[in-house]
Structure 1
Amino acid sequence: MSVRVGILGATGAVGQRFIQLLDDHPTFELAAVTASASSVGKPYREAAKWRVDTAIPDDVADMEVRATDPEAIADANVDLLFSSLPSGVATEVEPAFLQEGYVVSSNSSNDRMAPDVPLTIPEINPEHLGLIDVQRDERGWDGALVKNPNCSTITMVPTLAALDSFGLESVHVSTLQAVSGAGYSGVTSMEIIDNAIPHIGGEEEKMETESRKLLGAFDGAGIELHDADVVASCNRIPTLDGHLENVFAALSEDPSPAEVRAAMRDLPSADLHSSPDQLIKVFDDENPDRPQPRLDRTYAGGMGVVAGGVQTTYEGVAYNCLAHNTIRGAAGASVLNGELLVKEGYV
């Protein structure tokens, strides 16, 4: 089965990752790329300042960049759109595509907490796609909007899902986030070299709210948020890729470190092309200094989560976790959601 796809906002950092991940994908055929007005009409190789560590695919390099408008892609016969638009733009643009019947798998942060929009990690809460039926009824469109979570949230939530069997009560997390999470011009070299920035605007709130929605229960009409309290402190550090997070989780039960590691290793993956065979790789006690961004961010092609440093505390467990923020935490998450949409018959 071949599914024709398009990318909204294809020239930016996440858009370039989409192109890299879609190259030679067994299901998805890239049929259209869009960008801002300054890029429209140009070949993609001229419109994009390519920064990904692989070459622009030949069939994309000469593809003409289109306007980010439903009429501009009408003749491309696209079945599924991936969105990497800035949230302010996506708020205005995505509904226009949805009204025209497009299915959109979006990395943009707008509407993630909307009650009728699935916020999905396929290995964790695939049943939340059922919100699409609610969404279509309430908004009166034939399209469908699915979101993936923030790059810092998606790093932590799979590990929390593994801990939930021990009675997850509360979470405190401190992040060490790579500069690529802010985009190419988001943090200047003078700001970040020889430095750490102990605040990332809006990031703490995203982790605190999105985690509870992802771990919540779908009752057929909406999502009941998980009752665990989540408190986050988000910090920018001078690594290029890979968000490292220090997690402290309070549990109602008292598992041993070995039981925690086993629960993480045994967390089921998804039967989807881009999902790793083992979602969470866990280091044992003999590697207390892992995971590390430079060494571990490309686990499973950047689509996996890596954990380590598991130890018990007086109220639960402490550990570290890591994921590649522009692959698993952004474009790869949207591609995976697209694969789930196809599997479940929404595309």
Structure 2
Amino acid sequence: MTVSVGILGATGAVGQRFIQLLDGHPTFEIDALTASESSAGKSYQAAAKWRANTPIPRDVADIEVGETHPDAVSDDIDLLFSSLPSGVASEVEPKFLEAGYVVSSNSSNDRMAEDVPLTIPEINPGHLDLIEVQRDNRGWDGALIKNPNCSTITMVPTLAALDAGFGIERADVTTLQAVSGAGYSGVTSMEIIDNAIPHIGGEENKMETESRKLLGEFDGAELSLHDAEVNASCNRIPTLDGHLESVFVDLADDPSPAAAREALESFPGIDLPSAPDQLIHVFGDDQPERPQPRRDRNRDNGMAISVGGVSETPSGLKYNCLAHNTLRGAAGASLLNGELLVEEGWI
């Protein structure tokens, strides 16, 4: 089965990650690329200032870039991946949905909308059924699915594993986030070299709200948020890729660090083409200095979560977790959601 896909906002940093990840994909075939009006009409190679660490795939380089509008995209496209800035996406995505397209979006708009699935395939695939509620509410034939923020994706699989085994009541997290999370021109070198920035606009709220939605329950009609309290402090540091996070969790039960490590490492993955063989890799007591962004972000093609430093606190556990923010945390997350849509029969 071949699924025809398009990328909205294909020339940006996340759009280029989509191009990389879709090269040689067993199911998805790129048939449409869109960007701003200034790029429309050019070949992708001419329109994109390619910054990825691999060459532009030959079968993509000569595709003509279209405008980001339903009239410029063929009706034969089965699935659209959106990497648009949220301000643009909030205006453009509904037009595609009303036109009947299925959109797997990395953009932050509508993530917390009550009828929009916010999904990590290994964590809450059943939330896809919100699509039926969404279609009833909004009167369109398309479907919108979102992946969460890159910092949220790093933490939530670990919370899901611990919640399943021991019950999470509270989570506090401090993040050390890579500069690529802000986009190519998001943080200047003069700001970040020899520095750390203890504020990332809107990031803390995303982690605190998206986590509870991802871990929430869907009863077929509405989704209820998980009742755990989540608090976040988000910081930008001068690493290129890979978000490292220090997490403190209060648990209903009182597991030993060894039991927690076992629950994390044995948490099941999902059988999708881009999914890692093992979702969470756990470092033992003999490697307290891991995970590290430079050494561990590319585990399982950048799609796995790494955990280390698991130890006890008076009310639960503390640990560090790491994920590649533009692979697992952005384009790769949206790609996995697209694969889930196919697997579950929505496409």
1:74 deviates by 2.2
Aligned residue in 1 for 2:150: 151
Question: What is the DSSP-based 3-state SS (H/G/I as helix, E as strand, rest coil) of the residue aligned with 1:127?
Answer: helix
Residue of structure 2 equivalent to 1:173: 173
Q: Which residue of 1 aligns with 2:109?
A: 110
State how far apart, in whole Å, the 2-side matches of 1:113 and 1:46 are. Answer: 36
**Matched residues, number:** 346
Partner of 2:61: 61
**TM-aligned CA deviation for residue 290 of structure 1:** 0.2
Could you tell me how far apart the structure 1 residues matched to 2:333 and 2:266 are?
Answer: 21
Q: Which residue number corresponds to residue 339 of structure 2? A: 339
C-alpha distance after superposition, 1:174-228 (max 9, x if no partner): 0000000000000000000000000000000000000000000011011110000
Question: What's the C-alpha RMSD, in Å, of the aligned pairs?
Answer: 0.5
Alignment of 1:17-56 (within 5 A): 17-56=17-56
* Aligned-partner residue type, residue 31 of structure 1: D
Over residues 140-176 of structure 1, what are the superposed CA-to-partner deviations in whole Å (9 max), with x where a residue is unaligned? 0000000000000000000000110201000000000
Per-residue CA distance 1:212-253 (angstroms, 9 max, x = gap): 000000110111100000000000000000000000000011
Distance in 2 between residues matched to 1:222 and 1:236, nearest whole Å: 35
1:182 aligned partner, one-letter code? A
**Deviation sequence 1:45-76 (CA, Å, 0-9, x none):** 1111111111100011111110000010126x
Matches within 5 A, 1:111-260: 111-164=110-163, 165-260=165-260
Residue 81 of structure 2 corresponds to which residue in structure 1? 82
Question: Match of 2:309, SS?
Answer: strand
Deviations 1:274-316 (A, max 9, x none): 1111100000000000000000000010011000000010000
Paired with 1:15 and 1:221, the residues of 2 have a C-alpha distance of 34
**1:18 shift after superposition:** 0.2
Q: What is the letter of the counterpart of residue 45 of structure 2?
A: R
SS of the equivalent of 1:74 reads coil
Unaligned runs of at least 5 residues, structure 1: none
Q: Distance in 1 between matches of 2:95 and 2:310?
A: 46
Question: What TM-score, normalized by structure 2, do the two folds share?
Answer: 0.99
- 2:73 aligns to what SS in structure 1? helix
Aligned-residue identity in percent: 75
Q: In 1, Cα distance between the equivalents of 2:161 and 2:121?
A: 14
| Divergent runs of 4+, >6 A | none
AA aligned opposite 1:107: N
Q: For the residues of structure 2 that align with 1:222 and 1:302, how far apart are their CA atoms?
A: 33
Aligned residue number for residue 90 of structure 2? 91
* Separation (CA, whole Å) in 1 of partners of 2:250 and 2:45: 50
Aligned mates of 2:217, 2:312 — CA distance in 1:
28
TM-score, normalization: structure 1? 0.99
Q: State the distance in 2 between where 1:156 and 1:300 align.
A: 17
